[in-house]
Structure 1
């Protein structure tokens, strides 16, 4: 069994990036930040080879809990970057450090062939379903299957800027008035969400295919 899984891991290529942090506003006082997750793979474990979705930190926490609960073959999963009660939407260094930690977490997860069979992982990476809907879909309580949610869920992959360009943009001052404590409160939310693109503000316009292009992925209509 181990020889089979090791051979599968050698044959597959899975690349994942966490980028394009954006402030999502609930209202005037409450906001949180989410990130674009882009996946490119040749692995047979994925029916969709390229995708981009948006996720917030609390959804990463949910994913790790689900993978830990579903996996009986691993003693401990990789750690997420620690939650910072003083995390600021305007602090480019904190945002950059968190993105690197989230990307590192996903990269380690995707190196384990056993975890690639988990439906929650696929829904997290390639659908824009909320936590509640991901749980329902993985449990078979929705009218659509996991494969259908994935096929309808993520945007197509766009070109990437280099890490140097990313760091250059992240070093730019963020001139947005957002309450970091309000963000901390909103960060723990895990219910259904509807993102209004008119209320979505990007403090760090990291990735652009053409000047002025809007980079938010639309939520799947499922």
Structure 2
């Protein structure tokens, strides 16, 4: 009985804290901009290679991730992303907050699904700074580096994020380069599952 109580205690203390914050505007060319967001993770879960990490991702990358996870989820119903908005503007604080909240809820739900935690594309999305093309190639073993190496080599982090260029989302029509200090922060409890590279 004491052993069982001890094992339960270990499971209950495992956590994943995920935070979506700091929207930034990127100017792609004269007419196009996009917004990206910082995703920070702090965890003691054995599912993750890094216990703390920060990366920046844009709306189109979230769409890609959801599509990838859909292939893995089979009959499970995946959470929805916040809707695409052609009139999205970084100047509209309510739109920005709702977008970040939607991303936050999506990631929280995904992290509650043990099957999805074994998908290497999810880990590359959350803890590497690879592009979509490189994440796809890395996940199927067509790069010189493994998933673990890509995550460990990621240059994004609490210090290097200060040096990142200003960024924003694929819906963004705004030309402002200032970011908001908005964030949505939660703790997700998960059961320990080994990290697998697909």
Aligning the two structures, in what range does the TM-score lie when normalised by the shorter sequence?
0.7 to 0.9
Instruction: State the SS of the aligned residue for 2:26.
Output: strand
Instruction: State the SS of the aligned residue for 1:144.
Output: coil
Shift in Å at residue 111 of structure 1? 1.4
TM-score, with normalisation over the residues of structure 1?
A: 0.67
**2:14 maps to which of 3, 12, 32:** 12
Shift in Å at residue 15 of structure 1? 1.0
TM-score, with normalisation over the residues of structure 2?
A: 0.75
- Indicate the residue corresponding to 1:81 in structure 2: 82
Instruction: State the SS of the aligned residue for 1:201.
Output: coil
- Indicate the residue corresponding to 2:118 in structure 1: 117
**1:201 maps to which of 168, 174, 177:** 177
Matches within 5 A, 1:59-74: 59-72=61-74, 74=75
- Indicate the residue corresponding to 2:148 in structure 1: 147
- Indicate the residue corresponding to 2:167 in structure 1: none
The Cα RMSD (Å) is 2.6
- What is the distance in 1 between the residues matched to 2:43 and 2:154? 16
- Indicate the residue corresponding to 2:195 in structure 1: none
Q: Structure 2: which 5+ residue stretches go unaligned?
A: 1-7, 160-169, 184-198
User: Does the C-alpha gap of structure 1 residues 12 and 205 become closer, same or farther in structure 2, counting only changes over 3 Å?
Assistant: closer
Matches within 5 A, 1:14-29: 14-29=16-31
Shift in Å at residue 10 of structure 1? 4.3
CA contact (8 A) 2:90 2:96 kept: yes
- What is the distance in 2 between the residues matched to 1:149 and 1:9? 28
- Indicate the residue corresponding to 1:165 in structure 2: none
